[in-house]
Structure 1
Amino acid sequence: MNDLLRRGFLLGLGAAVTSKEKFETKIKQLVEKNELTQEQAKTLLQQFVDKGEAKKEDWQTRQQEQTQKLANDIGLATKEEVEELRNRITELENKLAEK
């Protein structure tokens, strides 16, 4: 399942890179035609990058939530649960050692 998520992420990343390259090409064409100023082009490109970053963060959050849901559905213990069990085992071992 993890490989599937990784492949999906890489596919999305590839699409984003291709889209950014196409977007940059289109912006350069508009600047060359004097339909946009250099400053407007920079602003548009920055907005595109900012939106991409926001989408990336959103995707990461959703991916983490899906992974957690999957772990819960199949009954995997969380780090916190494992740590709690370790502490309980240590506590019990200490009590046994005292006797």
Structure 2
Amino acid sequence: MMNNLLKRGFHLGIGAAVSGKERFEKMVQDMVDKGEMTPKEAKSLMDEWVRKGESVDRDWTNQSRAMMKERVKELGFVPEEDYRELEARVERLEKLHEEKDEGPPTTGV
């Protein structure tokens, strides 16, 4: 149920974005048609809006990642990098322990 709700919300957002983009493109084209803007200016405006959209997307992605990392940490999970470091440390300690146990032979006196 939650998965379906998330999908619907996602599709709603995508639909709104596409609809907004189409309206913006039509508005810019109308301005070109009326001589209020040159095609070069229209392209420049569209490029600027695309850059702004990409910037916002990067910001949202970075914020989402940071929030997700925090939630995962709150649940008690560790980052893979930390896990790998601990795993390597345990392996080194086990190896040292084995070497200590094998040590030099003792003479029976």
Same fold (TM over 0.5): yes
Cα drift, residue 12 of structure 1: 4.0
Identity of aligned residues (%): 34
Q: Deviations over 1:32-70 (max 9, x none)?
A: 111111111011101110110110011011101110110
Residue aligning to 1:91:
92
Give the match for residue 16 of structure 2: 15
Normalised TM-score (structure 1): 0.81
Give the deviation of 1:89 after TM superposition: 1.5
Q: Structure 2: which 5+ residue stretches go unaligned?
A: 102-109
1:34 counterpart SS class: coil
- CA distance in 1 between counterparts of 2:44 and 2:28 reads 11
1:78 corresponds to 2:79: yes
Q: Which structure has the larger Rg over C-alpha atoms? A: 2
Question: Structure 2 CA distance, aligned partners of 1:20 and 1:14?
Answer: 10
Please tell me the residue identity of whatever aligns with 2:82: E
Q: Within 1, Cα distance between the matches of 2:52 and 2:94? A: 53
CA-atom RMSD, angstroms? 2.3
Give me the TM-score of the superposition, normalised by structure 2: 0.74
Q: Does 1:43 align with 2:54?
A: no
CA distance in 1, matches of 2:11, 2:62: 16
What amino acid maps onto 1:75 in structure 2?
G
Quick one: distance in 1 between partners of 2:53 and 2:14?
A: 10
How many pairs align? 96
Distance 1:21 1:54 in 2: 20
Structure with the bigger RCO (C-alpha within 8 Å, sep 6+) is 1
List alignment gaps of at least 5 residues for structure 1: none
More helix by share: 1
